Amino acid sequence: MKGNEALLSVLGLLERLEMSYMVTGSYATNVYGLPRSTKDADVIVEAPAESVSAVLDQLELPLRADPQMLFETVTASRRWIIGVDGSPFVIEVFLLNNHGFDRSRFDRRLRLVLMEGVEASVPTAEDVIVQKLRWVARARRAKDMTDACNVMMVQAGKLDWAYIERWCGELGAEAVLAEARELAED
Amino acid sequence: MDGIAELVARIDREKVGRARQMSAAEKFLAGAELFEEACAVTMQGIRNEHPGIGEEEALVELKRRLALGARLEERLGMARR
């Protein structure tokens, strides 16, 4: 099973159960920026942990959900990992937490039509930029800065800068926002 | 701007232009497709390096290399802090 088939199969399950979710990470970045290779898909779900566990129990081979829920201390997020037998591709499922920005980007999510009858929820371009810069401010990963700049360049003229500035200010990412805007200037 | 810098800037502008031409749905699906293409090339390289290697073993080696890449990315991030 290929990565996209695996993800669409998980999203199909969430859609059938009418669970609120959105696809974040590289998938969302690719929607607004320059497409780049990704070895995983990140999905945020708004549901009690027990409900998510119950959903993941319904997955069928070659999808295999790690029965152990993990806790990430850096982001204070709870997550599960779904592996695909015979592939290094993984899907990470996170529980939505109560952080103001995480809540805001989840509430602003959009529906993206992937093909006839198949849709997925994704964050807005502004929220992708803020999330990437939040990570740059904390971890200084080069690819996060590149991703943020790529989204700024591809979406030039269409972004709500007041929203981006407000959240970058609240998240301590003003300096990296200024750096990214300079790098993304044409 | 020297020749190389001009070339890089032009290539970057072309990439942005191509990305604007693609639909959001195409771009959503592109990441995993690119990853699979890259993995197929690396798997071929692993088979060439280790003639007779089984698919399972080759996959283990591919995962090991991907983990190395992830570790390097983390280290580079830490070095910039």
Domains, chain A: 3-122 (3.30.460), 125-184 (no CATH)
Using CB atoms within 10 Å of the CB of residue A73, give its burial: 0 to 12 exposed, 13 to 18 middle, 19+ buried: exposed
In the stretch 61-80 of chain B, residues with CB closer than 8 A to chain A read 62-63, 66, 73-74, 76-78, 80
A58 lies within 8 A of chain B by CB: no
Please choose, from the candidates A50, A45, A48, A94, the residue with its C-alpha nearest in 3D space to the C-alpha of residue A70.
A94
Contact A61, A47 (CB under 8 A): no
> Which of A35, A89, A112 is the closest to B30 by Cβ?
A35
**What is the reported pTM?**
0.89
Chain A interface, best mutation among B15, B28, B57, by max A CB count within 10 A: B28
Instruction: Name which of A33, A34, A7, A2 is nearest A121 in CA terms.
Output: A7
Q: What proportion of chain A, given as a percentage, has pLDDT over 70?
A: 97
Give the pLDDT confidence of B28-45 residue by residue, as tens digits: 999 999 999 999 999 999
* Residue A115 banded pLDDT, cuts 50, 70, 90: confident
Q: Cβ contact (<8 Å) for B35 and A89?
A: yes
Helix, strand, coil shares, percent, chain B, to 5: 90, 0, 10
Expressed as residue numbers, the domain containing B28 is 3-80
Q: Nearest CA to B24 among A91, A121, A162, A133?
A: A121
Mean pLDDT of all residues in chain B? 89
Q: Is any Cβ of chain A less than 8 angstroms from the Cβ of B23? A: no
Number of domains within chain B:
1
Tens-place pLDDT, residues A56-101: 988 888 998 887 777 776 666 788 999 999 999 999 999 999 899 9
Residue of A10, A37, A121, A186 to mutate, testing the B interface (most B Cβ within 10 Å of its Cβ): A37
Cβ atoms of residues B59 and A124 within 8 Å: no
Tell me which residue in A86, A112, A186 faces B24 most closely, judged by beta carbons: A112
ipTM: 0.83
CB-CB neighbors (< 8 A) of B62 in chain A: 88
Which one, of B43, A56, A143, lies nearest residue A135 by Cα? A143
Q: What's the pLDDT score for residue B7?
A: 87
Instruction: Tell me if chain B has a CB within 8 Å of the CB of A38.
Output: yes
Arithmetic mean of pLDDT, A35-43: 94
Rounded Cα gap, residues A63 and A55, in angstroms:
12
pLDDT of residue B76: 75
CA distances from B73 to A28, A144, B41, B67, B77 (A): 20, 11, 21, 10, 6
B14 contact A CB<8A: no
Structure tokens at A61: 């081979």
